[in-house]
């Protein structure tokens, strides 16, 4: 085979292999246009709808005014609002029945009314920290959303904002919130709701038909609870109120709130966490019912506990120095423990002293003489000390006789 044929064969083989390797091609733009003074939109063939530019999207007056509504709304699967865009317009993605995910840029301050209403497949939404308002009906009928955290800065939930979000089990409301709008969480799957301290008004139907709701925490700041705000909350058992019974009696509670009024009321005070010490239990922060004299929320006990060091080996005593037992030591309080972690009264092993079985004034262990207090180095030193001892005894005897 000639060199030319060999080269052609190799090239053909490479081409055949290359055709079997999947290649990711860029998505093609299906349609694009303007949706604000300095804001544009594009939809690609993979269903990603991107909004980019600076400033606000158009605040559409009705859904039929939305450019992509009639032709492309069912093609939209993912929405990306890029940084720089400051609002999401009214009705923008209403009835996008195949929309699964939404990414909202950090500069968005407001979400218009009906913006994502009836997006039945939308599974989750995360709000940027700078968000200030969420419009009426914005996420109404989003059946797959399970949890929502509304950021600090938002002062009111719109009317019907999350109503009929049938899978919504958890909502975190910001301290900045002052008003919960009409039917804001109607027909959700919430189990436990904590209303922030600055809320003054809970409007009508706010939590009606939340049939899984078991506990609601209401702050002392609340002055009115609207008609049917908690109607048909058939599982509601506990109302934790951050005030006294007298304070609770001052709240204007409208009609059709029987589940709220017949539930067990706990008049609570918020208690801060208490750190455990080596010997005293602590507890987590929580709500303490002054009537029940127990925590109704939080307050989990934190068991007292020592912080043990590694094992410290024993040190044997000698004639003059104390030794120590092997032990563990608490790095916080200094208490010592044996190998079984039983507390020790003392780890000191007393010095042995100078044993003298021969009664010659010389320590059997260290050879220190009790008279001259040094180690005997030779026999003459030993004899000298014995003579010295004799004269000391003699002097003591004579002193006694003279008396």
Predicted pLDDT of residue 23: 47
Predicted pLDDT of residue 245: 94
What is this structure's pTM? 0.74
Return the structure tokens found at 365: 């262990």
Return the structure tokens found at 339: 């190998």
**Percent of the chain at pLDDT exceeding 70:** 85
Secondary structure tally for the chain: helices H, strands E: 5, 27
Query: What's the fold here for domain 151-160+176-305?
Result: 3.80.10
Q: 280-321: per-residue pLDDT in tens?
A: 999 999 999 998 999 999 999 999 999 999 999 999 998 889
Predicted pLDDT of residue 400: 73
Q: 334-385: per-residue pLDDT in tens?
A: 999 999 999 999 999 998 887 777 766 667 667 666 655 555 555 556 666 6
CATH number of the 23-145 domain: 3.80.10
In the predicted model, is pLDDT for residue 73 greater than 70? yes
**Inter-residue contact 210 to 183 (CB < 8 Å):** no
Predicted pLDDT of residue 27: 80
In the predicted model, is pLDDT for residue 55 greater than 80? yes
Q: 121-137: per-residue pLDDT in tens?
A: 999 999 999 999 999 99
Sequence-distant (6+) residues with CB within 8 A of 207 are 185, 186, 188, 190, 193, 213, 216, 229, 230, 233
Instruction: List the alpha helices (DSSP H) in 167-298.
Output: 245-249, 258-262
In the predicted model, is pLDDT for residue 22 greater than 60? no
Q: Round the average pLDDT of the chain to a whole number and report it.
A: 90
Q: How confident is the model over 55-80, as a mean pLDDT? A: 96
Predicted pLDDT of residue 140: 98
The residue extents of the domains of the chain are 23-145, 151-160+176-305, 354-403
In the predicted model, is pLDDT for residue 5 greater than 90? no
Q: How confident is the model over 27-31, as a mean pLDDT? A: 91
Q: Where are the beta strands (DSSP E) in 55-209?
A: 78-81, 87-88, 101-104, 110-111, 133-134, 147-149, 156-157, 170-172, 179-180, 192-194, 201-202
In the predicted model, is pLDDT for residue 206 greater than 90? yes
Q: Indicate the length of the chain as a whole number.
A: 403
- Do 23-145 and 151-160+176-305 come out as alike in CATH topology? yes
Residue 324's SS3 state is: strand
**Inter-residue contact 146 to 167 (CB < 8 Å):** yes
Q: 226-253: per-residue pLDDT in tens?
A: 999 999 999 999 999 999 999 999 999 9
């Amino acid at each position: 085979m000639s060199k030319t044929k060999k080269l052609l064969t190799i090239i053909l083989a490479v081409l055949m292999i290359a055709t079997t390797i999947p290649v990711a091609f860029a998505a093609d733009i299906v349609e694009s246009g303007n949706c604000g003074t300095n804001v544009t939109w594009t939809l690609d063939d993979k269903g990603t709808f991107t909004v980019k530019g600076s400033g606000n999207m158009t605040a559409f007056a009705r859904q039929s005014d939305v450019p992509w509504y009639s032709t492309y709304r069912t093609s939209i699967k993912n929405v990306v609002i890029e940084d720089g865009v400051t609002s999401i317009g009214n009705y923008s993605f209403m009835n996008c029945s195949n929309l699964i995910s939404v990414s909202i840029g950090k500069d968005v301050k407001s979400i218009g009314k009906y913006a994502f209403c009836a997006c039945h497949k939308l599974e989750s939404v995360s709000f940027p920290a700078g968000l200030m308002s969420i419009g009426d009906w914005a996420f109404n009928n989003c059946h797959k959303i399970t949890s929502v955290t509304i950021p600090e800065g938002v002062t009111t939930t719109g009317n019907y904002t999350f109503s009929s979000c049938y899978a919504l089990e958890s909502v975190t409301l910001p301290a900045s919130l002052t008003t919960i709008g009409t039917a804001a969480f109607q027909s959700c799957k919430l189990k436990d709701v904590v209303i922030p301290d600055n809320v003054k008004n809970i409007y009508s139907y706010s939590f009606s038909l939340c049939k899984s709701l078991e506990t609601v925490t209401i702050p002392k700041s609340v002055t009115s609870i609207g008609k049917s705000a908690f109607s048909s909350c058939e599982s509601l058992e506990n109302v934790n109120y951050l005030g006294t019974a007298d304070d609770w009696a001052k709240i204007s509670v409208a009609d059709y709130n029987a589940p709220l009024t017949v539930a067990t009321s706990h008049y609570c005070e918020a208690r801060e966490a208490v750190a455990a010490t080596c010997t005293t239990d602590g507890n987590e922060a929580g709500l303490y019912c002054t009537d029940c004299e127990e925590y109704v929320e939080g307050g989990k006990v934190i068991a007292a506990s020592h912080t043990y060091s590694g094992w410290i080996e024993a040190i044997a005593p000698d004639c003059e120095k104390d030794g120590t037992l092997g032990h563990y030591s608490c790095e916080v309080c200094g208490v010592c423990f044996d190998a079984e972690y039983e507390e020790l009264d003392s780890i000191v092993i007393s010095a042995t002293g100078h044993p003298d079985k021969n009664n010659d004034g010389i320590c059997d262990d260290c050879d220190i003489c009790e008279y001259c207090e040094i180690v005997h180095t030779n026999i003459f030193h030993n004899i000298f000390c014995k003579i010295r001892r004799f004269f000391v005894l003699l002097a003591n005897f004579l002193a006694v006789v003279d008396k």
